[in-house]
Structure 1
Amino acid sequence: MTINDPKGLYSIKLESGKNVVYETPTGLWTKDDYKQYHSHYVEKIGPALKGKKWGMVAVMKDYKTSSLSDELNTHAAWLENNGCEKVAIVVDSSIVKMQMNRAGNNKKFEQQVFTDINEAESWLSSKGFSL
């Protein structure tokens, strides 16, 4: 299953029989954009995973920081309560990686930041997720 935002702001992909979601957010988002994105997780991704534990690869190389703290917290809480255990974030530079790692992780799911998607996938695979 692949979900593409009509505005091109994100793509969410879940292959049948796998327990890893790939997402690629891009650009600058509004609150309505984030609500639409979140609704795809609630209405499509969650039911497709059927309560399984799962991981995520978030390729954030083209995402722009948005002032959506409440929306981000709502989505993170949904992830925590719906089986997401590990999140591998892929960014475009070592500086961004360092900043994101420094920001910490106060979520229930484990999060690691990478500059290479192969490293992100290797990490998730080492944690028991099928890619």
Structure 2
Amino acid sequence: MYSIKFDSVKNRIYTVLEGSSNLEEVKKCNMEFMKAVDNAKSGFTYLCDISKRGVELPECIEELENAKNYAIQKGLSRVAFIVDGAILKMQLKRAYGENQTTMFVSKEEAERYLDGK
């Protein structure tokens, strides 16, 4: 299950991913995410809550990386993840790079980081 929301005032995309999903659902989520990216202005930020997400299948990780690369090309400036679980943290670091992965335990902490506070 997932939800995607774009806040035009903050120029921020919010995604919540819960449970586990198959490749078809990940592709559908990516299509909605890319529409949100197209509505954002260059310099937008991204907050992704995966605190209730299961481990991703390898084919899903590849698809999610496509969405990440699309967002970077369109001007993504900062990313924050709300994450709980060592395996997910490891997958994020592998997908985004050690220095590109900023993880938090609460939405409030992630918002402060993305707001530059």
Residue of 76, 90, 95 corresponding to 2:68: 76
Corresponding residue for residue 77 of structure 2: 85
Instruction: Give the root-mean-square deviation of aligned CA atoms.
Output: 2.7
TM-score by length of 2: 0.81
Residue of 71, 93, 100 corresponding to 1:103: 93
Q: Secondary structure at the match of 2:77?
A: strand
Structure whose residues are more often helix by fraction: 2
Structure 2 residue 27 is the aligned partner of structure 1 residue 35: yes
Answer whether contact 1:12 1:22 (CA < 8 A) is retained: yes
**Cα distance per residue 1:35-94 (max 9 Å; x no partner):** 10111122x212311x421111111111111212321221121121111121111123xx
Unmatched segments (≥5 aa) in structure 1: 1-8
- Shift in alpha-carbon separation, 1:100–1:123, aligned structure 2, 3 A: farther
Tell me the percent identity: 22
Structure 2 residue 10 is the aligned partner of structure 1 residue 18: yes
- Number of residue equivalences: 114
Distance 1:89 1:101 in 2: 12
Corresponding residue for residue 6 of structure 1: none
TM-score by length of 1: 0.73
Q: Secondary structure at the match of 1:84?
A: coil
Q: List structure 1 segments (4+ residues) > 4 angstroms apart after TM superposition.
A: none
Post-superposition offset of 1:102: 8.8
Post-superposition offset of 1:98: 9.6
Q: Secondary structure at the match of 1:77?
A: helix
Structure 2 residue 51 is the aligned partner of structure 1 residue 61: yes
Distance 2:92 2:65 in 1: 18
Answer whether contact 1:101 1:113 (CA < 8 A) is retained: no
